[in-house]
Structure 1
Amino acid sequence: MTAVQTAPVTQVRVPARSVAGELRAIKIVWKRELIRFFNDRLRILTSLVQPFLFLFVLGSGLSQLTSGGTGGLNLRTFLYPGILAMAVLFTAMASAASIVWDREFGFLREMLVAPVRRSSIVIGKCLGGATVAAFQGLIVICIAGLVGVPYAPDLIAGVFGIQLLLAFTITAFGVMMSARIKQMQSFMALIQMLILPLYFLSGAVFPATNLPAWLTVLNRIDPLAYAVDPIRRIVFSHLTLAPAVRQRLDAGMTWGSWRVPTLLEVGVVAAIGAVLLAIAIAEFSKTE
């Protein structure tokens, strides 16, 4: 009898987990988000349509009706801080939505079975989405001169820093939601249900003072409001306004009669981002 020959067994060696390996995984996921974004020029252009419509079409169209209420300040200038937040908001959510696409096409499963912690994948995704959204926000910063806002270095640095933090928080929120959503249609419907109310309740299109009691409560519990207000403070600090106009349009976020400091507002956004990131990591750590 002829001896049966068996094919040699190929050994597969899974590298041990290490800090360097986890950082490399974060970098790869982050870089993938940037490559996908910059290779899609149509996405870059379409994501800017909504901010520009609000700023130049809505702002110009309503300026004559609101000139008395703004004390002569151009409505586009008043809306500009909210538009800076809007540019980040929708782009960050769109970046998080790509996880649903990856799940539908099977790429997400390949990522989750990689010999790295799932937390590294989530962190890389959030950092990538934040970078992409902050880039979109930077484009809107560049048009400040068109609405009468000066190009001051401290203004640009302060606004961009808050945009980056907001982008990370919103991306973490989107990643957390996408952990359990299986279809893109469901995710987009959820975005429409949550994002627009968050934006309009944040005080991006109206001063957050002298509001009805129910609207004041909703504004104070809106996380986005704690990013819009410090952006508005930074922008308005570089404008020459009459004290009465400044008090009416930039009274700031208050808890009772106490005006919340800018650093505390930024801390609220950072804390919410950290909590959402932890929840997203916990969701993706469960068995897929």
Structure 2
Amino acid sequence: MNVLRGVKWPYALVALLAVGAVALGALRPQLVTTVTSSKKKPSATDKIKQDPPPTLFTDHEIAAIGRAADDQREKADALFAQWRRTHGTTRDDKAFAAWAARQVPAPPTAAQRTAELHQDQRLARTRTAAGKRAATWLELHGKKDVWKLYLHDQRELVPARQGTAEKTELKAALKMAKTISDQVAARDKQPAPYVLDPTLRPDKHIQPGGKGPYSYPSRHATLSAAAVTYLGSLSPHRAEEYRWMRDEVLYSRLYMAGHVTSDITAGTLLGDLIGDYELTVSGR
């Protein structure tokens, strides 16, 4: 039963309510827009809390690609020493990006890439449901989220100003890694393994003879190596853990035929260079 039924509302009050309703109606879109625009994108921490990692690959599985990635460290340091002798420690992102792109080795020959493709094909025959879950998670979160989460953990232990600076520097390194690796991939035009052999990833619906996407160098590898070089310098006692996660990410790219080994090593070399650069120009 409506207890308000039959009540005689004073005219002035009715008029006031009517005016208020019109005003609220006019303001409602603005209020909705304000509330919507104030929503923040989920942080890396939020993303991983919402999608925690499954069981990842074993140390034995990731060991070989980890060693191949480690081999790029000495090369990168030697190359970066040349840059530093010429340019010092002053930030010049544009010049460095152009120089770093030139340090990426020429793509492998067709015969070499075919041999690497055969490695991916053999690996594809060993896939399991658990392996696919691990690879999917690493592909999704291995570019940036895991590295931002690692830095977030470190920032809990340092002064706020230092933590803010480190966050800015890692973001700059990751952005540069994406930019340069994409530019080199567009320049060298090496089709991804699942483009060369669409049976490796039927979910991608690649037409035979397709040309893209391009996979040399690996963007995941470039981002991971840049992050590991930077984070490992900030917290050397955790460097081994960072390398382990890097190797997990790299192996996942082979496992699902997103890349061949030369894509990974080229990306790792580039990422190591970018990490060295960011540490140097930020005074670390």
TM, length-normalised to structure 2: 0.29
Looking at CA atoms only, which structure, 1 or 2, has the larger radius of gyration?
2
What TM-score comes out, normalization by structure 1 length? 0.28
Instruction: State the structure with bigger RCO (CA 8 A, min sep 6), 1 or 2.
Output: 2
